[in-house]
Amino acid sequence: MPEATKIRAVKGTRDLLPPATGLWQRVEDEARRVFAAYHFGEIRTPVLEPADLFARSVGADTDIVTKEMYTFEDRDGERLALRPEATASVVRAYIEHGLFNQGRVNKLYYIGPMFRRERPQKGRYRQFYQIGAEVLGSEAPSIDAELLEMLVLLLDRLGLRGCRLLLNSVGDSHCRPEYVKVLRRALENMQGRLCADCQRRAATNPLRVLDCKVEADQPLIAKLPSILDHLCPECRAHFERLQAELGQRGVKYELAPRLVRGLDYYTRTAFEITSDVLGAQNAVLGGGRYDGLSELLGGPAAPGIGFAIGLDRLILAVEAVGQLKPQEGLAVYIAWLGEAALPPAIELATELRRADWSVELDYEPAKLKKSLGTASKLGARFTVIIGEGELASGRYQVKNMATGEQQEVPAARVGGYLQERIGSTFFARAEIGR
Note whether residue 276 is domain-resident.
yes
Same domain, 338 and 249: no
Mean pLDDT per block of 10 residues along the chain (434 residues) reads 85 90 93 96 96 82 74 92 95 96 93 90 86 96 96 94 92 89 87 82 82 83 90 96 96 92 78 84 89 92 95 91 77 96 95 90 95 94 96 96 94 92 50 36
Same domain, 337 and 301: no
Q: Which of 321, 343, 371 is the last residue of a domain?
A: 321
| Structural domain harbouring 402 | 332-422
pTM of the model: 0.85
Note whether residue 10 is domain-resident.
no
Note whether residue 389 is domain-resident.
yes
Tens of pLDDT, residues 183-218 = 888 888 887 788 888 888 887 788 888 878 788 888
Number of separate domains in the chain: 2
Tens of pLDDT, residues 48-79 = 999 999 988 776 656 677 678 899 999 999 99
Same domain, 290 and 337: no
Same domain, 255 and 380: no
Q: How far apart are CA 218 and CA 272, in angstroms?
A: 18
Q: What is the mean pLDDT of the chain?
A: 89
